[in-house]
Amino acid sequence: MLLIHCPYCEQDLPELEFAYAGEAHIARPADPSKLTDEEWRDFLFIRTNPRGVHFERWRHINGCARFFNAARETVSDRFLLTYKAGEPRPDVAKLTGVAQ
Amino acid sequence: MTSNRLPNRGRVDHGKPVRFTFDGKALQGLAGDTLASALLANGIHLMGRSFKYHRPRGVVSAGSDEPNALMGTRRGAGQFEPNTRATIQELRDGLEATSQNRWPGLGFDVGAVNDHLGSLFSAGFYYKTFMWPRAFWDRVYEPVIRGAAGLGVSPTESDADSYASRFAHTDVLIIGAGPAGLAAALAAGRSGAAVMLVDETAEPGGSLLSEPDVVIDGKPAWDWLAATLAELAALPNVTILTRTTAIGYYHQNMIGLAQRLTDHLDTVPAGAPRERMWKVRANQVVLTQGALEKPLVFDGNDRPGVMLAGAAQTYLNRYGVKVGDRPVIVTSHDSAWYTAFDLAEAGAKPVAIVDVRTDVAGALTDRAREHGIETLIGRTVTGTSGRLRVSSIRVNRVENGKATTPRDIACDTVLMCGGWTPCLHLFSHTKGSLAWDDELKAFLPGHRTEAVHIAGAGRGLWGIASVLADGAAAGTQAALDAGRDATEHAHTVEADRPGTGITVKELPTDRDPGKAKAFIDFQNDVTAKDIRLAVREGMRSIEHVKRYTTNGMATDQGKMSNINGLMIASDALGKAPPQVGLTTFRPPYTPTTFGTFAGYHKDATFELTRKTPIDPWAEAHGAAFEPVALWRRAWYFPKPGEDMHAAVRRECQATRASVGMFDASTLGKIEVAGPDAVTFMERMYTNPWAKLGVGRSRYGLLLGEDGFIRDDGVIGRLGPDLFHVTTTTGGAARVLNMMEDYLQTEWPDLQVWLTSTTEQWATVALQGPNARKLLEPFVEGLDITAEAFPHMAAAECTVAGFPARLFRVSFTGELGFEVNVPARHGLALWEKLWEAGQQYDVCAYGTETMHVLRAEKGYIVVGQDTDGTLTPADAGLTWAIGKKKPDFVGKRSLSRPDMVAPGRKQLVGLLTDDPTVVLQEGAQIVADPNQPKPMKMLGHVTSSYWSDAVGRSIAMAVITDGHAREGETLYIPMPHHILTAKVVKNTVFYDPENTRLSA
Ligand SMILES: [Zn+2]
């Protein structure tokens, strides 16, 4: 069971308190009607699914109930860091020491 | 019965006899015995039959790696356990043990015919033999296999015991309390670190319990052990748990521990849990699990009386049991020589030591000669004999790798040792890499992914002195890494028994190796030739060899068999072992009871049951209940003699004739409040909200961003900034999560607050032509006449003296109201309305009647009539879409090409040609019942009921291009006949003009 750092509660807490919420940094388009069918398909369904650092959303659902973002290494399952919703995507090279 | 117990030897209590039974026979052991040691003390080696061939089997080991001595054990009703390892189960007064996999008896077993049909059951037999013909599988193979095989018998009664669980946090968790673990615990404990030391057996000490003659720090081993345990016990920061198996090593140093609490007790204190699951989060983990002894692979190595040499040493020194009088020792490692010496000194007469190595230390051969034991160096073993107990062993000379002249040696036990495998199962759970050590012929820990230290025999060291030093160093380092000041202490060791050995493939033979029964995996009956056959038949990866032969797939997870299997597979493949690889170890380390995993979550606490405030009334009035999500809901209210159909017909008729009462409290409720509440609602739901007046409500439809229906419910506007949203009973949490997601992450600028109010409000629905008459006298502060409070009106008022949110709403097609009052008043409101309703013959109805009444009106239930792939258009709900809204969740998807293409499944009504036939919900629908199978399914029935109001059966279904099939006859094939029905696009079967609900 993972320990996850909630950036709002500022505590490391067991995975049981959290719910996964899909890939991060996929903003809903301001005006979906302007998107082509292909663009809208990509927004809905196309995800990066990387072997390596994955930016993803979690919700502290059994705690403060806030959504936040995390960078997690998908090979080791390890969290590299978590940060508040709305903050920019961190630099992977700074997190891992290697460029992706 | 001969007694093999040696007086005054071992750690058992010779003054405390313990009675037990084995296959009904009354026997006696001693306090401190395991079931296996007590049986051996009674001269019993034959303890079971093997899984596949039903070969007679004796105990092989003295630990949790035991593959053969698996038994049913029983304490009382609901306390039967199959596959108890006799080597782990401690003897207790009155223990009932029964052998497994045999009929009619252990000595004579009909299933042993499998042994003579061995060629039928060779590697891959599951895949080859039973593939064809299909009918043979159903009628012959499966019943025969099920009858003959199976590992023990599942208990049929529910488990009478209780189980516990606990969380713990510690600086240093040490797994394995042998010499390395004890030294680590001393080092870490003295530093002040919080230390947990766990061991799976009844007593700490590990190999020291089998090596009493070693002298540590000037004391005999057992005195040193006692002093060490006393020192640890005096340290308040150290906790020792025995009978505790570390079953799994999970992320970030979380370890699962299964602690056995009562199976060893003669009598169980009332209420004491049987086992406890610990979930330990450790800053540092030290693995001191030691090494597991390997068997040697030769024909007949599974005969009762053939066992591991190290196990024999443990039975002798720890339990005071001599496993045989005339053992032959067969080994590739020095350790078994010491077993022979210990047995000789205890009065047994070891016949010979057969060493497959050509080079053995002179000190060992000299000492054997002093004991009068024949030494046979550089030999091989090619067979054993004896029906239910080994009586002789066939030993050959080896010349140029080939077995030559054989010789039979009479014996009563064969003690084998094929070297030792570092126990790295838990380390493997962490995905730590293993590195092959070609000298040791063993995998050793490589790259670590966790804060873990491995010490002792677990990383290939041998001898008490070296593992003590290694344990002390690991304990010191773990304490330092946990932020403590620790200094290493040295230990002195005398009379140590260091040694070396080699690991070999199956032993060479002068006989047809194709006929040899040289076992690798005793529990799954896998032989050396099975592995070679698998390689010949094309298996290249060790994972394929494993699955083809089932080697290592038994409950012991190949603790004894993995390396022997690998050595033979790598020889057959002509590749080095690391290129062939090792199969993956997975938790749990040893078989673990379901009860331990369940812990407190059984019976009433298995799952939460949500009950409404009105539930006690329903129970008192004889309701039948059904589970809906986690709720228990009143299903129907049968009167004496009524079945469900009769009750539901009566409830439907009474509601449509006068008035019915329904507990709708489980409806999900979410309060959407704030200056931007209307903007938020406009964006979330398909419907328009901006122009919905305060005091009005509207059916709301919620889509996912993919355009599919997610939820629905009536939503009331109670103020300019306040919406009372209702959701489906099962969808409340999902809808709130979705709303929070959009509010927090897409539109954080909106000033909106979301509150789950499902359990704050009790909801009573009054439905039927007399609903207003019943309700009106209770309402204060609101005119609820038809003109003043029309259909879909909503208001705050007082009902029966309670503050209320009142909705005029109908899920039945009748004049209807839903009264929401604070939950604590729900029951009182219900009872008042019930009492007043008697003059109108009010009827309480349950969810089944609710479903019939709504289906008569064609109202859908999201999740029953939709399945997550229906759009509003598919469900006939385009009217619920605000056409002028620029955007809402899911809008863009509704114009995607796939969403408007022909061939979509659409919701329609179905009327059976025979009006008395009620279709089965879930039944599949086809266009042509005479087409060959598999038929093309057009869709399925989603809702189906008998309707008194309509005077016939009614149904809804989702059908490909359903909306274009008006009037078409479709077919519903059932097991014994084919039903026919006509499609109707309009699903409103009753009162299509809605005159009744507008009354
Ligand atoms: Zn939080």
CATH number of the domain residue A95 falls in = 3.30.2270.10
Looking at domain B855-984, its CATH superfamily turns out to be: Probable tRNA modification gtpase trme; domain 1 (3.30.1360.120)
Percent of chain B whose pLDDT exceeds 90: 88
Pairwise pLDDT comparison (B108 vs B48), residue with the higher score: B48
pLDDT at A100 over 50: no
Nearest CA in chain A to B738: A21
A77 contacts in chain B (CB < 8 Å): 251
Using CB atoms, pick whichever of B251, B742, B748 lies closest to residue A86: B748
B737 contacts in chain A (CB < 8 Å): 19, 59, 61
State chain B's mean pLDDT as an integer: 94
Name which of B507, B386, B501, B376 is nearest B439 in CA terms: B501
pLDDT at B103 over 90: no
Question: What is the domain extent for residue A9?
Answer: 1-24+52-100
pLDDT at B108 over 80: no
pLDDT score of B604: 86
Asked if the structure places residue A1 within a domain, the reply is: yes
pLDDT at B661 over 70: yes
Asked if the structure places residue A30 within a domain, the reply is: no
Which letter does DSSP use for residue B333 in this model? B
Asked if the structure places residue A74 within a domain, the reply is: yes
Confidence class for position B1, pLDDT limits 50, 70, 90: very low
The tally of domains found in chain A comes to 1
Confidence class for position B152, pLDDT limits 50, 70, 90: confident
A35 contacts in chain B (CB < 8 Å): 892
User: Tokens for B474?
Assistant: 């690991």
Confidence class for position B554, pLDDT limits 50, 70, 90: confident
Q: Rounded distance, CA A37 to CA B994, Å? A: 40
Long-range CB contact pairs, B920-924, < 8 A, 24+: B920/B944, B920/B974, B923/B972, B923/B974, B923/B979, B924/B972, B924/B973
Asked if the structure places residue A31 within a domain, the reply is: no
Name which of B412, B394, B449 is nearest B427 in CA terms: B449
CATH of the structural domain B163-291+422-494, one choice from 3.40.1390.30, 3.50.50.60, 3.40.50.1480, 3.40.470.10 = 3.50.50.60
pLDDT score of B138: 60
Lowest mean pLDDT among A93-97, B320-324, B728-732, B882-886: A93-97
User: Tokens for B325?
Assistant: 């009088």
pLDDT at B137 over 60: no
Asked if the structure places residue A89 within a domain, the reply is: yes
Any idea which architecture B635-763+777-812+836-851 has in CATH? Answer: 2-Layer Sandwich (3.30)
Q: What is the pLDDT of residues B676-701, one digit of tens each?
A: 999 999 999 999 999 999 999 999 99
pLDDT score of B583: 78
Nearest CA in chain A to B248: A1
pLDDT at B116 over 70: no
Q: Mean pLDDT throughout B631-637?
A: 98
Q: Which residues pair with B765 in a beta bridge?
A: B662, B818
Q: What is the pLDDT of residues B59-91, one digit of tens each?
A: 999 999 999 999 999 999 999 999 999 999 999
H helices, E strands: number in chain B: 25, 51
Q: What is the pLDDT of residues B708-719, one digit of tens each?
A: 999 999 999 999
pLDDT score of B582: 80
Using CB atoms, pick whichever of A1, A37, A85 lies closest to residue B896: A37
Q: Which residues pair with B767 in a beta bridge?
A: B660, B816
Confidence class for position B141, pLDDT limits 50, 70, 90: low
Please give the backbone phi and psi of residue B817, each rounded to the nearest 5 degrees, phi first: -135, 150
Which letter does DSSP use for residue B70 in this model? E
User: Is B281 in contact with A2 (Cβ distance < 8 A)?
Assistant: no
Domain ranges of chain B: 1-157, 163-291+422-494, 293-419+502-580, 635-763+777-812+836-851, 855-984
Q: Does A98 touch chain B (CB under 8 A)?
A: no
Percent of chain B whose pLDDT exceeds 70: 96
pLDDT at B834 over 90: yes
Q: Which numeric CATH code is attached to B293-419+502-580?
A: 3.50.50.60
Name which of B592, B623, B625, B997 is nearest B812 in CA terms: B997
Q: What is the pLDDT of residues A28-61, one digit of tens each?
A: 999 999 999 999 999 999 999 999 999 999 999 9
pLDDT at B134 over 70: no
User: Is A2 in contact with B279 (Cβ distance < 8 A)?
Assistant: no
Name which of A90, A30, A82 is nearest A58 in CA terms: A82
Using CB atoms, pick whichever of A1, A19, A40 lies closest to residue B254: A1
Which residues lie below 8 Å from residue A38, measured CB to CB, with a gap of 6+? Answer: none
Which residues lie below 8 Å from residue B154, measured CB to CB, with a gap of 6+? Answer: B82
Q: What is the pLDDT of residues B165-213, one digit of tens each?
A: 999 999 999 999 999 999 999 999 999 999 999 999 999 999 999 999 9
Within the 43-72 window of chain A, which residues sit less than 8 Å (CB to CB) from chain B?
44, 57, 59, 61, 65-67
B741 contacts in chain A (CB < 8 Å): 21, 59, 67
Using CB atoms, pick whichever of B744, B892, B897 lies closest to residue A32: B892
Asked if the structure places residue A44 within a domain, the reply is: no
pLDDT score of B107: 77
B252 contacts in chain A (CB < 8 Å): 1-3
pLDDT at B105 over 80: no
- Asked whether B262 and B160 are in contact (CB, 8 A), the reply is no
Asked if the structure places residue A35 within a domain, the reply is: no
Q: Rounded distance, CA B143 to CA B104, Å? A: 18
Q: Mean pLDDT throughout B230-252?
A: 97
Q: Mean pLDDT throughout B764-780?
A: 98
CATH of the structural domain B1-157, one choice from 3.40.50.1820, 3.10.20.440, 3.40.50.720, 3.50.50.60 = 3.10.20.440
B250 contacts in chain A (CB < 8 Å): 1
Q: Does A21 touch chain B (CB under 8 A)?
A: yes
Name which of B8, B3, B404, B489 is nearest B216 in CA terms: B489
Give Cα separations from B72 to B26, B55, B84, B385, B413 (angstroms).
16, 18, 6, 28, 25
Q: Rounded distance, CA B187 to CA B582, Å? A: 34
User: Is B892 in contact with A86 (Cβ distance < 8 A)?
Assistant: no
Q: Mean pLDDT throughout B217-242?
A: 98
Minimal CA separation from B239 to chain A, in Å: 23
Asked if the structure places residue A79 within a domain, the reply is: yes
Q: Rounded distance, CA A68 to CA A84, Å? A: 5
Name which of B631, B655, B634 is nearest B811 in CA terms: B655
Please give the backbone phi and psi of residue B202, each rounded to the nearest 5 degrees, phi first: -75, -15
Name which of B118, B28, B106, B116 is nearest B68 in CA terms: B106
Question: Could you check whether B635-763+777-812+836-851 and B855-984 share the same CATH topology?
Answer: yes
pLDDT score of B179: 98
Q: Rounded distance, CA A39 to CA B255, Å? A: 46
Beta strands in B87-129 (DSSP E): 95-98
Confidence class for position B123, pLDDT limits 50, 70, 90: low
Confidence class for position B156, pLDDT limits 50, 70, 90: confident
**ipTM greater than cut 0.85:** yes
Q: Rounded distance, CA A41 to CA A50, Å? A: 19
Find the B733 Cα to ligand 1 centroid distance in Å.
Answer: 18
Nearest CA in chain B to A35: B892
B680 contacts in chain A (CB < 8 Å): none
How far out from the chain centre does Cα B821 lie? Answer: 43
- Asked whether B244 and B258 are in contact (CB, 8 A), the reply is yes
